[in-house]
């Protein structure tokens, strides 16, 4: 007797519409999408109260220009936080580099602007290297080390600058004009920040070094057992963070023109807050640089919009604080939910 075997029918390919729907759903589940929506809501609310907030030339320009420096700071801090560290000294690095920028134009007349940019980035990276070396070799928590260097760098800046102040007329017009220059109605400083963001985000996502940042932050001990050079990754993260703060210091000088020993004071909280709100988990190993940048933009947009909405200074700070606390709580809830889901999957598999 011949037995007829029924040939299994291959599964039908997924309908294109379903793939598109899943893709759209995935986009809306991302933390970055929710932050972009929040930015648009804040802009819309402020514009309804005062249409000059967005619809005037100055309003539109400031919305793009104001976050540019903070994008660099938040992106730099995010790379350190992803490795399960933190850098509190970025504000002092920015201030010291900003004053160095002005002094270079005064002490070396005719110095090329591009050379000033390069020196500022290298100087910031050097200060970041000091932080990284102390964290990696002294094995002291990064929060303690960078709190100390924050005061040390600021003290050097105060001792160097004293009561002196650098003014726009002390620097070449070609440099100070960068603070207001535009290309196709987009500020040059914003273009610089976005180009740097794209380059570093690509590095973090597509290179082995970038992926090792996440591995180190997820489980430092496992990463070391696997053979990852923990010291090197820590050093690179802090150097890149310092370099971003150095570049931000140069842009700060171009943006504001006037620089003294208090330049950049307190900006580290906004930089760290932007990264955390953007989905960079303070416990390390999670987050994207795009999220950190959008988080910084959201904070700066809120700070600009709240006075338009008639909210007093105290409540402005309170709103920012609530956002940071909410982001940390949300990250913790999501982490616990993911852990529970993994445990359930393992139990089902066994």
- The pLDDT score that the predictor gives to residue 120 is 96
* Helix, strand or coil, per DSSP, at residue 187: strand
Can you give the pLDDT at residue 348? 65
Q: Does the pLDDT at position 39 exceed 70?
A: yes
Neighbours of 47 (CB within 10 A): 16
What is the rounded average pLDDT of the residues 73-83? Answer: 96
Distance, in Å, from the CA atom of 219 to the CA atom of 284, rounded to the nearest integer, reads 9
Q: How confident is the model at residue 314 (pLDDT cuts 50, 70, 90)?
A: confident
What is the C-alpha to C-alpha distance for residues 261 and 283, in angstroms, rounded to an integer?
33
Check residue 350 and give its pLDDT. Answer: 63
Within 10 angstroms of residue 138's Cβ, the number of other Cβ atoms is 10
Higher-confidence position of 334 and 64 = 64
Whole-angstrom CA distances from 6 to 9, 10, 77, 345 are 9, 12, 61, 34
CA angle 72-212-35, nearest 5°? Answer: 40
In this prediction, residue 4 carries a pLDDT of: 47
- Give Cα separations from 335 to 50, 76, 277, 283 (angstroms): 40, 23, 15, 10
pLDDT of amino acid 54: 82
Quick one: pLDDT band at residue 32, thresholds 50, 70, 90? confident
Rounded distance, CA 201 to CA 195, Å?
10
Alpha helices in the chain (DSSP H): 16-29, 31-49, 52-55, 57-65, 68-82, 90-107, 113-138, 142-161, 173-176, 188-206, 208-218, 220-226, 230-256, 267-277, 289-308, 313-349
What is the percentage of the chain residues whose pLDDT exceeds 70? 87
Mean pLDDT of the chain: 86
- For residue 90, pLDDT beyond 90: yes
Please tell me the pTM assigned to this model: 0.87
Mean pLDDT of 308-313: 78
pLDDT of the residue at 23: 60
Q: Which CATH architecture has domain 32-306+314-331?
A: Orthogonal Bundle (1.10)
Report phi then psi at 310, rounded to 5.
80, 25
122 or 1: which carries more pLDDT confidence? 122
pLDDT at 289: 95
Average pLDDT estimate for 151-161: 94
pLDDT at 316 over 80: no
* Whole-number Cα distances in Å, 331 to 80, 187, 272, 280, 300: 17, 33, 15, 8, 22
* 38/49 Cα distance (integer angstroms): 17
Per-residue model confidence (pLDDT) at position 12: 54
Report the pLDDT value the prediction gives residue 27, as an integer from 0 to 100: 63
pLDDT over threshold 70, residue 306: yes
pLDDT band at 28 (very low <50, low <70, confident <90, very high): low
Q: Is the predicted pLDDT of residue 1 greater than 60, yes or no?
A: no
> What is the pLDDT averaged over residues 144-171?
93
> What would the pLDDT profile of 93-114 be if each residue is shown by its tens digit?
999 999 999 999 999 999 999 9
Strongest mean pLDDT among 150-159, 214-223, 266-275: 150-159
Per-residue pLDDT at 13 exceeds 60: no
Q: Report the chain's terminal Cα–Cα distance, integer Å.
A: 42
């Amino acid at each position: 007797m011949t037995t007829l075997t029924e040939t299994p029918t291959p599964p039908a390919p997924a309908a294109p519409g379903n793939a598109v729907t899943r893709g759209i759903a995935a986009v809306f589940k991302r933390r970055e999408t929710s932050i972009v929506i929040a930015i648009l809501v804040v802009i819309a609310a402020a514009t309804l109260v005062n249409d000059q907030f967005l619809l005037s030339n100055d309003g539109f320009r400031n919305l793009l220009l104001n976050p540019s420096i903070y994008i660099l700071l938040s992106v730099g801090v995010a790379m350190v936080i992803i490795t399960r560290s933190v850098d509190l000294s970025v504000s002092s690095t920015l201030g010291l580099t900003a004053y160095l920028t002005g002094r270079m134009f005064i002490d070396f007349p005719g110095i090329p602007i591009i050379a000033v940019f390069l020196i500022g980035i290298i100087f910031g990276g050097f200060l970041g290297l000091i932080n990284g070396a102390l964290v990696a070799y002294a094995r002291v928590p990064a929060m303690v080390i960078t709190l100390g260097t924050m005061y040390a760098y600021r003290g050097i800046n105060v001792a160097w600058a004293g009561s002196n102040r650098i003014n726009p007329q002390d620097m070449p017009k070609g440099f100070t004009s960068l603070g207001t220059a535009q290309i196709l109605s987009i500020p040059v400083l914003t273009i610089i920040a976005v180009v740097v963001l794209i380059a570093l985000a690509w590095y973090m996502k597509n290179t082995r070094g970038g992926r090792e940042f996440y591995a180190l932050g997820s489980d430092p001990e496992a990463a070391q057992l696997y053979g990852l050079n923990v010291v090197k990754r820590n050093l690179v993260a802090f150097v890149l963070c310092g370099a971003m703060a150095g570049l931000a210091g140069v842009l700060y000088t171009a943006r504001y023109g006037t620089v003294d020993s208090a330049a950049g004071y307190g900006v580290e909280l906004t930089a760290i807050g932007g990264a955390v709100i953007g989905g960079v988990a303070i416990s390390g190993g999670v987050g994207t640089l795009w999220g950190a940048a959008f988080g910084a933009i959201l904070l700066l947009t809120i700070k600009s919009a709240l006075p338009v909405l008639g909210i007093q200074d105290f409540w402005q700070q309170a709103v920012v604080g609530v956002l940071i606390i909410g982001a940390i709580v949300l990250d913790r809830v999501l982490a616990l939910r993911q852990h529970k889901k993994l445990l359930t999957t393992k139990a089902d598999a066994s």
